[in-house]
Structure 1
Amino acid sequence: MTTAVAFEAVTKRFGSTEALRGVTLEIPSGSVFGIIGPNGAGKTTAMRILLDLMRPSSGSVKVLGFGPREGGVALRRNIGYLPGELILEGRVTGAALLAHYTRLSGHVRRGRITELADRLGVDLHRQVRTLSKGNKQKLGIIQALMHEPELLILDEPTSGIDPLVQQTFHALVHEAQDRGATVLLSSHVLSEVEQVAEQVAILKQGEIVTTSTVLALRETAKRRISAVLSGADASEVRASLASIPNLGEVRVVEQENALTLRLTGVLGGNPDPLVKALAAFSVADVSIEAPNLEDAVLDLYGQNGGAS
């Protein structure tokens, strides 16, 4: 498997502040890769270094086999970039703006811009300054995708757009991957990354906490559990649950009917032992939530000194 993007011990300093601290990371070609982290974690700095908008203080970077500086115009035309803080010329129509970007990006196949505009639901005949934040963001997505580049670098791409359009965007990302493109996506919205990415790197204060597949990371998350038991004794229930591995603190509350108990807690790992333990009682209701990416990330931040 070839590598589309590689960071090797990359550090970026702004005075006494280190935005990136020895980041080493490889992103496989043809993958959708997510960079997760709160604001200030270093996500945007890493992306700007890939585009040679910033230079690393130390370490090295390769993008599609080239250093960002030595790759020059040819490399940049093979990249689609959507910045996290999108600023567009407002005194032109969307069509005129995208025509300008076409001259910069190189070849765009006939009908491609219209196709993307129709799917995203943006009017290209209106002046950009009259558009909402969400519609301006759609123009940014179009300019990143329209020339069908080999690498997409997307910084908080769905900021300001409604959920239905987000689903269209996710489909466009998968279509880009299907034609062989690599997609690097940054976001602090974990549900978005969970829907489109296969692998993730989690950044905290300029350092990589972990890299993982989304599936493996989700499986490390704890499940929230709740149950209502009828005709059960609280001490017997607690004794039965005590031997279950990876079961966090469980709260057992007697309801108005002393024989009815409500349990709430969290469970890591396989739910099978819990289900078997509860089967010894009369279960009026039970809920075991599927683990999600957000819980796994928050757990990792907690294990590494707390979330910032």
Structure 2
Amino acid sequence: MEVSGLTKNFGQFHALKGISFEVQPGEVFGYIGPNGAGKSTTIRTLLGILKPTAGTAQIFGQDAWRDAVAIHRRLAYVPGDVYLWPNLTGGEMIDLLLKLGGQKHSAETDELIERFELDPSKKSRTYSKGNRQKVALIAAFSSQPELLILDEPTSGLDPLNEATFQAVLGEFKANGGSTLLSSHILSEVERLADRIAILRDGQIIETGTLAEMRHLTATTVTVKTIQPLPDLSKVAGVTGLQASGHHAAFQVSGDALAQVTALLAQAQPESLTAEPPTLEDLFLHYYREKPVNAHD
């Protein structure tokens, strides 16, 4: 998948402002942002539901708008809110979804039904939200897609089934499948994504691996030393310092971490913990800078 300069306007409202990114084979690409940032507009454009105002979106080398039918034969999409025909059973619904994609019920389908602990004999109208998600996920994974587009795919799943989803997605990735994963569960994106794009006001404001992005915010350090602590208050990049005797806790920016580590080594640390910023920390780092327009 390759998106270049993608722009989408709704009248005077600019939902997407020239975004660009790529999703490589065998990669899980995390696509995050709050409500109104443009995630849903991006996904609808990739699915050929919306025509872009400018720019291009290519999937398998084909245009997402003009070649949507051909592209859909090779991808699977799971939304965050799955609606099913109420009088069909879960098993019938899975078979229908597979048939719509030109696929058939297989041994892999049965295995996924078992792994997600779905009762396929029940009518869809009796299913909880989590069970409706399971139906869509089972159909998507067993359709043998080359690309998965997942928009809040684990919404409503319990922790055990979230773990099952993560395991199945890992197997899909290991087999060379590509995934665009949009989720508000930042710990899930942090665990699964190879690269991450952060979207704000219709623009991608940062793209990279989590390791590459961690230099943008602070690491939390707690330390106890044998020798007296050095004076860290004058070190540029150290914030929130709380020191007492041989104990200290503080935050340090990535560019100052080496200097601080060298100073602490001179004091002979007895114990030291350093917690790198999480994806949630990075997310909040960006969104504290500027309020987000509440449209999507």
Normalised by the size of structure 2, how large is the TM-score?
0.88
Aligned residue pairs: how many?
292
Deviation at 1:218, TM superposition (A): 3.2
Q: Equivalent of 1:290, from 276, 285, 292? A: 276
Q: Deviations over 1:195-221 (max 9, x none)?
A: 111111110011110111222123543
Task: State the secondary structure of the residue aligned to 1:218.
Answer: helix
Instruction: Tell me if structure 1 keeps the 8 A contact 2:95–2:104.
Output: no
Q: Equivalent of 1:14, from 5, 10, 35? A: 10
Instruction: Tell me if structure 2 keeps the 8 A contact 1:92–1:128.
Output: yes
Deviation at 1:287, TM superposition (A): 3.3
Structure 1 residues 181-190 or 220-229, which shifts more?
Answer: 220-229
Deviation at 1:301, TM superposition (A): 3.4
Task: Give the AA of the match of 1:246.
Answer: G
Deviation at 1:13, TM superposition (A): 2.0
| Residues 122 and 73 of structure 1: CA distance in aligned 2, closer, same or farther (over 3 Å) | same
Instruction: Tell me if structure 2 keeps the 8 A contact 1:222–1:296.
Output: no
Instruction: Tell me if structure 2 keeps the 8 A contact 1:298–1:307.
Output: no
Task: State the secondary structure of the residue aligned to 1:226.
Answer: strand
Task: Give the AA of the match of 2:251.
Answer: V
Q: Deviations over 1:225-269 (max 9, x none)?
A: 23457896xxxx5x62145453224134x5xxxxx4653321122
**Corresponding residue of 1:165:** 161
Task: State the secondary structure of the residue aligned to 1:70.
Answer: coil
Normalised by the size of structure 1, how large is the TM-score?
0.85
Task: Give the AA of the match of 2:86.
Answer: G
Supply the distance in 1 between the matched residues of 2:27 and 2:267 (Cα, whole angstroms). 47
**Corresponding residue of 1:250:** 241
Q: Deviations over 1:154-179 (max 9, x none)?
A: 00111111222212111111211222
Return 5+ residue gaps in structure 2 as ranges. Answer: none
Residues 1-308 of structure 1 aligned to structure 2 (within 5 Å): 5-108=1-104, 110-227=106-223, 237=229, 240-252=231-243, 260=245, 263-269=248-254, 271-278=257-264, 286-302=272-288, 305=290
Instruction: Tell me if structure 1 keeps the 8 A contact 2:49–2:65.
Output: no
Q: Deviations over 1:71-120 (max 9, x none)?
A: 24332111100113322222211001111112101123621221111111
State the structure with more CA Rg.
1
Supply the distance in 2 between the matched residues of 1:215 and 1:108 (Cα, whole angstroms). 41
Supply the distance in 2 between the matched residues of 1:55 and 1:229 (Cα, whole angstroms). 61
Supply the distance in 1 between the matched residues of 2:219 and 2:291 (Cα, whole angstroms). 20
Instruction: Tell me if structure 2 keeps the 8 A contact 1:153–1:184.
Output: yes
Relative contact order, higher structure (CA 8 A, sep 6+): 2
**Corresponding residue of 1:257:** none
Instruction: Tell me if structure 2 keeps the 8 A contact 1:41–1:203.
Output: yes
Supply the distance in 2 between the matched residues of 1:307 and 1:191 (Cα, whole angstroms). 22
Task: State the secondary structure of the residue aligned to 1:38.
Answer: coil
Task: Give the AA of the match of 2:242.
Answer: R
> Percent sequence identity over matched residues?
35
Task: State the secondary structure of the residue aligned to 1:154.
Answer: strand
Supply the distance in 2 between the matched residues of 1:191 and 1:35 (Cα, whole angstroms). 13
Supply the distance in 2 between the matched residues of 1:110 and 1:143 (Cα, whole angstroms). 11
Deviation at 1:189, TM superposition (A): 1.8
